[in-house]
């Protein structure tokens, strides 16, 4: 794959100490991405840290224009404000930025990409390529298959999103709060909006004037952009649940043409990044625990929507840190290498 490159690729990770940054390093190593120089960037809080990658220790540095010199690809996951500040400097220094944050996703000059769904959009980049929001990313391959099969008319999504989607501090909050409550102690929410232990929160990101949250509208708008269906009817309710890793989604689709659950199951099973786990009578359906640390998008509970003419209901589960962030970003990087799209071409 990425090993087709004749020279190693110089990589910087902005947000290397975060939950997504940590997963990016793991995925680069697992997929044997041909990393040459590696710069690990984070806030001043982490500047004395070192991080191991492929058996070698790397210092953590603060980001600066200087840090991007000689780098081919910047994988950015330090929040939207940092991407707004540093991505232009990185592009100026000759890098391609693959951005995990929401900073540029809806910018018309920035391709928003799930490589297996709309990889062709990558070549149109002007220095920045955006990774979708985690709950959108896992939905895209599933919706693409269903669109090809029956023509999408309307999509209704309810998400069950793990705390790792809100970063390392939210993960710690769930753990410490659960322990405290089991010991009859109080633990006031500091990162999430309300108590998450033994609870769930229908509130991810901020509320907008239309009554939706930003997270919900990201699913709507990003889906329309990635599938190149600007008028597709999409609606979403996004909920944070006390799960550590993996987002789950209850999805209802209305299709133009009738598609049976068996036809949907077969078409989805033929997709290279989807696994169908759908023998519910034998207890076979995906759960977040089973998806954590894995690469596929899992689909189960495929059944007719008895309330609509050409409707199907599905249950979609994937590791938000991998499919929803690090794996998707590294797959974009691999695409750039394979298609010789780096700014400094690989030597022949
Ligand atoms: N978690 C997910 O499933 C997911 C999925 C898709 C996209 N994203 C997006 O990816 C981004 C990171 O998410 P995360 O979950 O990895 O968050 P996180 O665990 O909280 O990590 C945040 C990272 O940003 C760094 N950072 C913060 N302020 C900085 C500054 N002023 N200068 C340089 N670095 C700074 C942090 O460094 P320190 O350790 O030094 O503080 C840390 O490395 C967010 O924009 C998020 O929306 C997350």
* Cα 333 to middle of ligand 1, angstroms: 19
- DSSP designation for 112: B
Residue ranges of domains in the chain, CATH in brackets:
2-132+325-338 (3.40.50.720), 136-320 (3.30.360.10)
Pocket residue to mutate for ligand 1, from 13, 59, 78, most atoms within 8 A of Cβ: 78
User: What's the rounded Cα separation, in Å, for the pair 45 and 179?
Assistant: 27
Q: What is the pLDDT of residue 133?
A: 97
Distance of CA 10 from the midpoint of ligand 1 (Å): 21
b/e sequence 29-50, b meaning 16+ C-beta within 10 Å:
eebebbbeebbbbbeeebeeee
How remote is the CA of residue 191 from the centroid of ligand 1, in Å? 13
Q: What number does the ligand 1 atom closest to the CA of 167 have?
A: 15
Predicted pLDDT at 2: 45
The whole-number pLDDT of residue 3 equals: 42
Ligand 1 mean position, distance from CA 19 (Å):
7
Rounded Cα–Cα distance for residues 50 and 193 (Å) = 32
Query: From start to end of 162-231, where are the E strands?
Result: none
Model pLDDT, residue 1: 45
**Nearest ligand 1 atom to alpha carbon 18:** 21
Q: Whose CA is nearest to atom 29 of ligand 1?
A: 43
How many angstroms separate the CA atoms of 294 and 175, rounded? 22
Q: Which atom of ligand 1 is nearest to the CA of 60?
A: 40
Residues near 345 by Cβ (< 8 Å), separated by ≥ 6? none
pLDDT score at 344: 73
Atom 24 in ligand 1: residue holding the nearest Cα: 78
DSSP per-residue letters across 228-285:
T-TT-EEEEEEEE-S-SS-EEEEEEEEESS---HHHHHHHHHTSTTEEE--BGGGTB-
Ligand 1 interacting residues, C-beta cut-off 6 A: 15-21, 42-43, 45-46, 63, 77-80, 82, 100-101, 134, 164-165, 167-169, 320-321, 324-325
For residue 310, which phi and psi values (nearest 5 degrees)? Answer: -115, 45
Atom 40 in ligand 1: residue holding the nearest Cα:
43
Which pLDDT does position 47 carry in this prediction?
86
- Residue 194 CA to residue 201 CA, distance in Å, equals 7
Q: Which of 267, 241, 253 shows the shortest CA–CA distance to 320?
A: 241
Q: Which of 95, 147, 236, 247 is catalytic?
A: 247
Assess whether 134 carries a catalytic annotation.
yes
Q: Whose CA is nearest to atom 14 of ligand 1?
A: 167
125, 134, 147, 236: the catalytic one is 134
* Nearest ligand 1 atom, CA 133: 6
Find out whether 319 and 245 touch, Cβ atoms under 8 Å: yes
Q: Is 327 helix (H, G, I), strand (E, B) or coil?
A: helix
* Euclidean distance between the first and the last CA atom of the chain, given in angstroms as a whole number: 16
Number of Cβ within a 10 Å radius of residue 207: 11
Distances (CA, A) of 138 to 77, 101, 273, 298: 18, 16, 10, 9
Q: 182 exposed, middle or buried (CB, 10 Å; 0-12, 13-18, 19+)?
A: exposed
Q: Region of 28 please: left (phi>0), alpha (psi -120 to 50) or beta.
A: alpha
The per-residue pLDDT string of the chain (348 residues; one tens digit each, 9 = 90 and over) reads 444 446 899 999 999 999 999 999 999 999 999 999 999 999 999 988 999 999 999 999 999 999 999 999 999 999 999 999 999 999 999 999 999 999 999 999 999 999 999 999 999 999 999 999 999 999 999 999 999 999 999 999 999 999 999 999 999 999 999 999 999 999 999 999 999 999 999 999 999 999 999 999 999 999 999 999 999 999 999 999 999 999 999 999 999 999 999 999 999 999 999 999 999 999 999 999 999 999 999 999 999 999 999 999 999 999 999 999 999 999 999 999 999 999 876 543
């Amino acid at each position: 794959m990425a090993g087709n490159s004749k020279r190693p690729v110089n990589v910087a990770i902005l947000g290397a100490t975060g939950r997504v940054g940590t997963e990016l390093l793991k995925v680069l190593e697992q997929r044997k991405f041909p990393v040459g120089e590696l710069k690990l960037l984070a806030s001043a809080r982490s500047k004395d840290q070192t991080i191991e990658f492929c058996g070698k220790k790397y210092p953590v540095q603060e980001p600066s224009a200087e840090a991007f010199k000689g780098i081919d690809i910047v994988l950015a996951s330090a929040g939207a404000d940092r991407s707004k500040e540093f991505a232009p400097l990185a592009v100026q220094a000759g890098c391609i930025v693959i951005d995990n944050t929401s900073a540029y996703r809806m910018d018309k000059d920035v391709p928003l990409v799930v490589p297996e769904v709309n990889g062709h959009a990558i070549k149109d980049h002007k220095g920045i390529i955006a990774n979708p929001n985690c709950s959108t990313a896992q939905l895209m391959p599933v919706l693409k298959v269903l669109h090809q099969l029956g023509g999408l008319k309307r999509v209704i999504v309810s998400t069950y999103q793990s705390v790792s989607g809100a970063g390392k501090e939210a993960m710690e909050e769930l753990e410490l709060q659960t322990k405290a409550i089991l010991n009859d102690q109080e633990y006031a929410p500091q990162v999430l909006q309300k108590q998450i232990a033994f609870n769930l929160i229908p509130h991810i990101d901020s509320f907008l004037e239309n009554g939706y949250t930003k997270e919900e509208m990201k699913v709507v708008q990003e889906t329309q952009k990635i599938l190149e269906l600007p008028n597709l009817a999409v609606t979403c309710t996004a909920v944070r649940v006390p799960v550590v890793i993996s987002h789950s989604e209850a999805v209802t689709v209305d299709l133009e043409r009738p598609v049976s659950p068996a036809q949907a199951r077969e078409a989805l099973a033929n997709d290279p990044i989807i696994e169908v786990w759908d023998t519910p009578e034998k207890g076979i359906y995906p759960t977040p625990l089973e998806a954590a640390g894995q690469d596929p998008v899992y689909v189960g509970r495929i059944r007719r929507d008895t309330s609509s003419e050409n409707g199907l209901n599905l249950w979609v589960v994937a590791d938000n840190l991998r499919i929803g962030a690090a794996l998707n970003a590294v797959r974009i990087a691999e695409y750039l290498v394979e298609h010789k799209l780096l700014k400094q071409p690989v030597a022949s």
